[in-house]
A and B are shown apart, each in its own frame.
Chain A
Amino acid sequence: MPFEKILAAVDGSDASNRAFGKALELARLTGARVTALAVEGPLPAYAATIGEVDEVKREKDAYFGGLLAETRHRAEAAGVELDVDLRPGHPAELISRVAAEVGADLIVLGHRGHFLRDHLLGSTADRVVEHADCPVMIVR
């Protein structure tokens, strides 16, 4: 069996939705279990008020709560066993770390997220490829 545990990074972008679809297809073919990891991303750096931080955190919680519910629904429809994991922090670093924690033998993610910083600073996918200890599949 080529893959037993697949880690799929989800952020709600088109690329990530396509990547999650591919992860489900692969899991169905191989019987692998999928972990969907949503990384809330950093809060406003160097904030001047707690209100600013709180608001962004609340927005992220609501957005990712909805996203993970949708993710569960898609996995159920595909008949794939799914674990979900929502964490705050820096996406590239966390995707590599969680992959090691769950013993993933494949990471699947989209080529580009939906934040401008992905365009300006290089994509999360590039950094995951650099740091991951297992194969990485990038979906365009």
Chain B
Amino acid sequence: MSQLALAAVLALAILAASTISVELGISVALIELTLGVFIGNAFDVSVPEWLSFIGSFAGVVLVFLAGAEVDVPQFRREWKASLWIGSASFVAPFFVVMAFAYWGLGWSGEAAQIAGIALSTTSLAVVYAVLVETGLNQTTIGKRIMSATFVTDFGTAAALSILFIEPNVWILAFAGASIGLIVGLPRLAPWFFGRFGNRVIEPEIKLVFAALFVLMWLGDKAESHAVLPAFVLGLALSSHYAAHRLEQERLRVVAFAFLTPFFFLKGGMNVSVGALWANLGILALLFGAKMIPKLAAVYPLARRYCAPHAGFTTLLMSTGLTFGTISSLFGLQAGIIDETQFSLLVSVVVLSAIVPTVIAQRFFQPSAEEEARRDRLTPATPAYEREGA
């Protein structure tokens, strides 16, 4: 298939995914991923260089957007509970999956690390959708879960950027540019956006994209990954975007219209249905290796900080999608994992977006009205703090 023919097929797939998403109420990303699997396997096409490049950039943009969507004041209010739950949610599955992949499945050390990172994530967006849909995003428990999700995501971004570093002189430039952008851009933004913003030529989006490309380039030279600085840069700009929603909206439009579809299509096209079919048992074991430590580590903390909805909290913290896909794609692109390992990891990630969400909504969903009532009756200082814990 020629490059233009493939581009046409992908453009039609992107269009189809959008319309199916609206009609069925399912995330466009999941449909793009599925269509990518279909195109990659039915037409037997490999991912071309241009798609791989756009997809990689889109992954970094997604991470930046995730950082920019963090509600920092809310995190400050809920930091103690969120730090415990979010850290446990990352650390437990990371080590268990890594150990299982290394000793149980015989994967290389680095491949096992990628498995650990990809399967320790929690999906901010999946959690957010469930909370908004039920009105729980306005309650203490909802805010606490969102903040905890941010901590888990931070763990993923940090692990992906730090674990695979092979130190060379470029690491200094990478670290310097990261710090410079993270400190400098939030200070520059009010002036720059005020002077050049609100134009169809969108200098403010170009500024963000330029910063992300610089981070990607230096990260690549330093044998690292731009995920962590991109996430923290988004976080540093989150207050600015909270005050200027229209700017964030434009950035989302550009990202969702052109960039992120290629990221998810690329992810899907790299999945081998044949390899999955031949390894269904391993798929189930990896799913268990993600879910069991997540549930075991988060549940006791959720009982302490999110009672009486520990089950609901634990299940939401077990979801995953975007960061898991980003981690798996990084591993594949860096040659750390092969196509079969990638197919297994992405499938577990997708399963973890669906299975815990369905169970949480079906069997554990709290009533938003009751939670709001409970919030009004609860003293401002939570019990675990009053007890001096």
Residues of A in contact with B (beta carbons under 8 Å apart): 41-53, 55, 57, 88-89, 115-117, 120
Contact = CB atoms under 8 A, between A and B. Distances in A.
B132 A43 contact: yes
A52 B126 CA distance: 11
B126 A47 contact: yes
A46 B322 CA distance: 10
Q: Which 7 A-B pairs have the closest CB atoms?
A: A48-B29, A116-B23, A51-B252, A47-B125, A47-B27, A46-B353, A44-B27
A41 to B, nearest CB: 7
Given A47-B125, A89-B134, A52 B28 contact: yes
A7 to B, nearest CB: 18
A42 B134 CA distance: 9
B62 A44 contact: no
A44 B129 contact: yes
Given A48-B125, A48-B264, A53 B132 contact: yes
A53 B134 contact: no
B26 interface: yes
B69 to A, nearest CB: 4
A10 to B, nearest CB: 19
A49 B260 contact: yes
Given A43-B25, A44-B27, A57 B125 contact: no
Given A48-B321, A53-B128, A116-B23, A42 B133 contact: yes
A43 B252 contact: no
A42 B25 contact: yes
A32 to B, nearest CB: 25
A53 B252 contact: no
25 contacts: A43-B133, A44-B21, A44-B27, A45-B25, A45-B357, A46-B27, A46-B30, A46-B321, A46-B353, A47-B125, A47-B129, A48-B28, A49-B29, A49-B62, A49-B260, A49-B322, A50-B124, A51-B65, A51-B69, A51-B256, A52-B27, A53-B125, A57-B132, A89-B133, A117-B25
Interface string B7-49: 0000000000000010111111110000000000000000000
Interface string B241-259: 0000000110010011000
B321 A117 contact: no
Contacts of A50: 65-66, 69, 124-125, 128
Interface in B313-366: 321-322, 325, 353-354, 357
Interface of B: 21, 23-30, 62, 65-66, 69, 123-126, 128-129, 132-135, 248-249, 252, 255-256, 260, 264, 321-322, 325, 353-354, 357
Given A53-B128, A55-B252, A48 B27 contact: yes
A62 B138 CA distance: 19
Contact of A117 (B24, B66, B128): B24
A44 B25 contact: yes
Contacts of A53: 125, 128-129, 132
A124 to B, nearest CB: 13
A51 to B, nearest CB: 4
Residue with the greatest number of chain B CB neighbours at <10 A, chosen from A42, A51, A52, A55 = A51
B84 to A, nearest CB: 23
Given A51-B256, A53-B128, A88-B135, A44 B354 contact: no
B25 A46 contact: no
Contacts of A88: 132-135
Contacts of B135: 88
A52 B30 CA distance: 12
Nearest to A53: B129
Given A49-B29, A50-B66, A88-B133, 8 more contacts: A42-B25, A45-B26, A46-B353, A46-B357, A48-B325, A50-B69, A50-B128, A53-B129
A49 B134 contact: no
Contacts of A42: 25, 133
Contacts of B354: 46
A55 B249 CA distance: 9
A46 B350 CA distance: 9
